[in-house]
Amino acid sequence: MTATAPAPAPETDADERLVRTSPLRRLLGRPELGSVVGAVAVFVFFAVVADSFLRASSLSTVLYAASTIGIMAVPVALLMIGGEFDLSAGVMVTSSALISSMFSYQMTTNVWVGVLVSLVVTLAIGAFNGFMLTRTKLPSFIITLGTFLMLTGMNLGLTKFISGTVSTKSISDMEGFSSAKDVFASVVTIGGVDYKITILWWFALVAVASWILLRTRVGNWIFAVGGNKDAARAVGVPVNRTKIGLYMGVAFAAWISGQHLLFSFDVVQSGEGVGKELIYIIAAVIGGCLITGGYGSAVGSAVGAFIFGMTDKGIVFAEWNPDWFKFFLGAMLLLATLLNAWVRKRAEATK
C-alpha cells in the first residue's frame, strides 16, 4: 500500500510575518498616527490664531518647552509599553539636581564630581523602584507613589537641614560649572536662532529608544512583558530584569533633566517637580501608549511632548489667558485617546 503524500499547506497559512501588508495597513498600525494628526491640527490652529507662532524664534521656544517634557516622556513611554507607571519621575528630577548641587557645595569639590554622584544615586532610586516592584508584586502605582512621597519629603527636609533654606546655595563660581553648563544647559545657534541643547538631548533619546524598541531583543522583551508578563516569562523573557532596566531608564532621563534644571538656574528649589510626573504620562498617552501596556512608541511620546510645547507657548503667542492651559491639556488628552482608539480599531479591521 502506497502512502499518500500530504497535500501542501494552503498559501494563506504562511507565516504572518512574511505576508506583505499594504502601506495603508502599516500606516494605520503605527501607534503615533493619532498624535501626528493631532499635532498637525494644533500647529495649524495656532498658526492661524497667533501671528508670531510661525517665526523661527517662536519655534525655538516651542521646541525647548517640548524638550523639557520630551526628555522624560521617552523613558516613561517605554515603561508604559512595559506595563508599568512611575509616579516619582517628577520629583526624581529635582532630587537629581539637589544631589549634584549640595554634594558639590558641601564637599567643595569639582562640580562634575557632584554630577557623577547624582547619576549613581538617581540610578539607584530607579533600581529601587524596579526591585521593589518585582519583589513585592505590588502595583507600580503603589510602589512609585511611596517613592514619590519619600523623595518629596527628603528633598525638602535635607535641603533645609543642609542649606538652612528651601533652596540650594549658588555653585556658579565653582570649578567645572561652566563645562557642565555647556553639556546640560548651553545654547546652540543655527541660522541666527538660539536653540537650547536640551532639544538635542531629546532627539538623541528618541532615536536611541526607537532603535531599542524596533531593532533589538530588549525591545521585544519590553513589548512582551507589557502585553502579558506571564506568557513572556514562560518563553524565557527576563521579566524582572527588563522592568528594573526600564525604571533605571526613567532615572537616567531624570538625571539629565535635573542637571539641566541646576545648570540653567544655578540654584534649585526643593519643592519643584511635584505634578510633572502626570504631564510625562499624559504626553506618552497622547503619543499612543496604552494604559494597559504592550503598545506605543518613542516617536509618539515625542509628538505628544511637541503638542504640549505648542499648546503651552501657543496660548502665550495668541495672547490668551494662560490659566486655560490645563483645560486645553485635558481636552487634548481625551481627544487623543479617542483618536488613538479609533485608529487601532481601523487597523484591526483591515487585518
C-alpha cell of residue 270: 526643593
The DSSP element (H or E) to which 3 belongs, if any, is none
The conformation of residue 186, written as its DSSP 8-state character, comes to: -
Q: Which residues share a beta bridge with 195?
A: 188
Phi, psi of 272 (to 5 degrees): -75, 160
Q: What per-residue confidence (pLDDT) applies to 103?
A: 95
Say what the pTM is: 0.88
Record the cell numbers describing residue 300, joined without a space: 509618539
- pLDDT tens, the chain, 351 aa long: 444 444 444 443 443 334 455 665 665 567 777 788 888 888 998 999 888 898 999 999 999 999 999 999 999 999 999 999 999 999 999 999 999 999 999 999 999 999 999 999 999 999 999 999 999 999 999 999 999 999 999 999 999 999 889 999 999 999 999 999 999 999 999 988 999 999 999 999 999 999 999 999 999 999 999 989 899 999 999 999 999 999 999 999 999 999 999 999 988 999 888 889 999 998 998 888 888 888 889 999 999 999 989 988 988 898 888 777 778 777 877 777 777 667 667 656 655
How many angstroms separate the CA atoms of 255 and 95, rounded?
A: 9
Please, which residues bridge with residue 193 across strands? 190
Contacts 24+ apart (CB under 8 A), 65-68: 65/308, 65/309, 65/312, 65/313, 66/202, 66/302, 66/305, 66/306, 66/308, 66/309, 66/310, 67/196, 67/198, 67/199, 67/201, 67/202, 67/305, 67/309, 68/198, 68/257, 68/260
